[in-house]
Amino acid sequence: MVFRNTLKLAAGMLAFSLLAGCLPDNRSALERVIASGELRVIMRNSATTYYEGPAGPTGFEYDLAKGFADELGVELKVIKAESIGDSLARLSRGQAHFAAAGLAITEDRKRRLQFTPTYQLARKQLIYRLGSPRPKSLAEVSGWIEVPANSGQAEFLQRVAREMPFLRWTENGQGDTEELLTLVAEKVIDYAVLDSHEVSLLQRYYPDLRAAFDLGEPMPVGWAFRKGPDDTLYRAASAYIQRARADGRVAELKERYYGHVGDFDYVGTRYFMRHVRLRLPNYRELFEQAALENRIDWRLLAAVAYQESHWNPDAVSPTGVRGLMMLTQATARQLGIKERTDPVQSIEGGARYLRWLLDRVPERIGEPDRTWLALAAYNIGYGHMEDARRLTLKRGGNPDLWGDVKETLPLLHKRAWHSQTRYGYARGREALTYVENIRTYYDMLVWHTDQERTPPARPASGLRIASPIL
């Protein structure tokens, strides 16, 4: 009897489920996302959008979209696209709720899509290789130009080519920004037109490349949605972008991903890449072992050592610090290091000291700010770093954000400010440069090790799409 009643109940529930499935879903797009617990977003796998970093998924667009998903209380699911064209195609097929793929807001795209308020401006730049003629305008370009297919750069060249029939250019259907930079660097193509924010992150890896000039007006970048009668999710995303701009979230992300690449040192980069080939192999296993024992990315430890000594175990500074990690006598004594110029002892000591500093930074401070603050302490001492954080709070900034603390550090050499601190005068500007340099070296080492695993593929010339206007 109980079994029969159970069957009747189950049958009734199934009938109700089937009936409910036939009824129209009157929930809004925003309500359906919240109910599903998942926000699907199309992203390009690139340095400025989304990639797998040492600590997991990262990237400017990823972090911005993750903030929106967190605000909605749902999980962010990334739908990876191979190119701009692939991003737009996936969006048109409805594979995701929107695209956050570094898409420029062009007139042509606005006719087909709706965009959130902008959060970034991208300048189009003509990239050339040192040793080649540097044109001052498109009229002086004598070689071929390549641009990513279906890109804002392609739309721009399509327009200007109507008045410049001599312009020779193609759309590359396979290459992204990094691949086009590689083709220019290897003299496979003459020029590329790319977005400035992507070039700024990647140019460090190609010290022979330069931007000849900017083309046209800067283009706004935004999230792209399909047009339709239900714009509830679009309006929620637009409101989120506006808040993120107003409350400093966008500025914080720009500092995190672009703040250390403003001063580009071509000569220093060339030397660094040479030392990566010739010096780093001598000490790489030592960095890897010491980093593993102290829960640090070995490339960060190697970047610190390069900033300190250029991987020279016999390096000595005017102040008497020595070795690969440039340990002071006091620090070496504290760590039990007997011979500072011994690479094994120096690297082990530097790793343990950095780990000690990382553990002292308040637990509430997240990454990567925690690491940048610890590095500042490695340079000027933990007490001076804490002085800078306290002054940051006094000045109305956030002492837990590197972007705010870095603005305060140079004040530590001014009497009006360091007189208010516990530890007094410090070379704060030097500490700022120190951290920013290490951030750059670390990025380059991450890029270098990624290239070891997956060397960039060169698109076959047959895959290039001829320009419709030549």
Known catalytic residues? 308
Quote the CA–CA distance of 384 and 88 in Å, as a whole number.
50
Beta strands in 168-238 (DSSP E): 169-172, 191-195, 209-226
Phi, psi of 38 (to 5 degrees): -145, 130
The continuous run of DSSP H or E covering 127 comes out as strand 120-129
Query: What distance lies between CA 305 and its chain's CA centroid?
Result: 23
What six digits make up the tokens of 294?
Answer: 């102290």
Quote the CA–CA distance of 386 and 468 in Å, as a whole number.
60
| Cα dihedral 104, 108, 113, 115 sign | positive
Contact 227, 113 (CB under 8 A): yes
Contact 244, 119 (CB under 8 A): yes
Query: Which residue intervals of 214-312 are DSSP H helices?
Result: 232-246, 249-258, 266-278, 280-293, 298-309
Beta strands in 61-158 (DSSP E): 75-81, 98-104, 113-115, 120-129, 145-148
What is the gyration radius of the CA atoms in the chain, in angstroms?
26
